[in-house]
Amino acid sequence: MVLALVFLLIPSLSFSTCLLPPFKKGTSHRIIQGFGGKYSHIAPLQYGIDLEMPIGTLVYSSRAGVVSEVKMSSSLGGPSKKFKPKANKIIISHGGGDYTLYAHLKKDSQRVKLGQEIPAGLPIARSGCTGWCDGPHLHFEFFKKNRDGSRLSKNFKFKTELGCAVPKFGAQVSNKFIK
């Protein structure tokens, strides 16, 4: 009884949200930094992942929602933290305080607008290497906002043909699931 109560009060201990991979059906991408990656995925942002992705690859929404932030004006990126504010990004609100972040996007490649309602599996932008970035990739994160507006990443899984799977460093993630 006590254990069941704990899971009801803290659901993230018992399960995680299952999301569509953020790329085109029939393609796959390797995870080059996973949960808790020592390079930049440190608490409270430990549940982000980096997917190796050539510049210009279409990025897709992983869940239906409303576009809550679009920053796409930078063409600068590099391997130093000083580039961090130059990252282009799109954030989508999924209701209930949940958001997804798509970062390091190519300058002016957005296909969505602020406030736009979008379905899961919609192309939203193109991958790039803007901000703190030592090679082309997509940073993907599922998170909640703290009271001060900062992010608190949440664990998640990707939908696969066999069910939902935790994204792991070095794994090749395949997208055969989108409609």
- Expressed as residue numbers, the domain containing 58 is 28-163
Please indicate, yes or no, if residue 9 is contained in any of the structural domains: no
State residue 162's pLDDT score. Answer: 80
Q: Return the H-helix or E-strand segment holding 163.
A: strand 163-165
Number of structural domains (the chain) is: 1
Determine how β-strand 58-60 pairs with β-strand 123-126: antiparallel
Q: Return the H-helix or E-strand segment holding 160.
A: strand 156-160
Please indicate, yes or no, if residue 74 is contained in any of the structural domains: yes
Q: How far is CA 38 from CA 83, 101, 137, 174, 177, in A?
A: 18, 19, 17, 24, 30
Please indicate, yes or no, if residue 71 is contained in any of the structural domains: yes
Answer whether 87's CB lies under 8 Å from 134's CB: no
The single residue listed with the structure tokens 């406030």 is 115
Q: For the chain, list residues with pLDDT below 50.
A: 1-14, 178-179
State residue 143's pLDDT score. Answer: 95
Q: What are phi and psi of 13, to 5 degrees?
A: -75, -25
CA dist., res. 122 & res. 38, Å (int): 31
Please indicate, yes or no, if residue 53 is contained in any of the structural domains: yes
Please write the tens of the pLDDT for every residue from 63-76: 999 999 999 999 99
CATH of the domain at 91: 2.70.70.10
Please write the tens of the pLDDT for every residue from 79-107: 999 999 999 999 999 999 999 999 999 99
Answer whether 127's CB lies under 8 Å from 143's CB: no
Peptide bond into 123 cis (omega under 30): no
CA dist., res. 133 & res. 130, Å (int): 6
Please indicate, yes or no, if residue 169 is contained in any of the structural domains: no
Strand spans (E) along 11-155: 17-19, 27-33, 49-52, 58-60, 65-71, 77-78, 89-93, 98-103, 117-118, 123-126, 131-132, 137-145, 151-153
Please indicate, yes or no, if residue 179 is contained in any of the structural domains: no
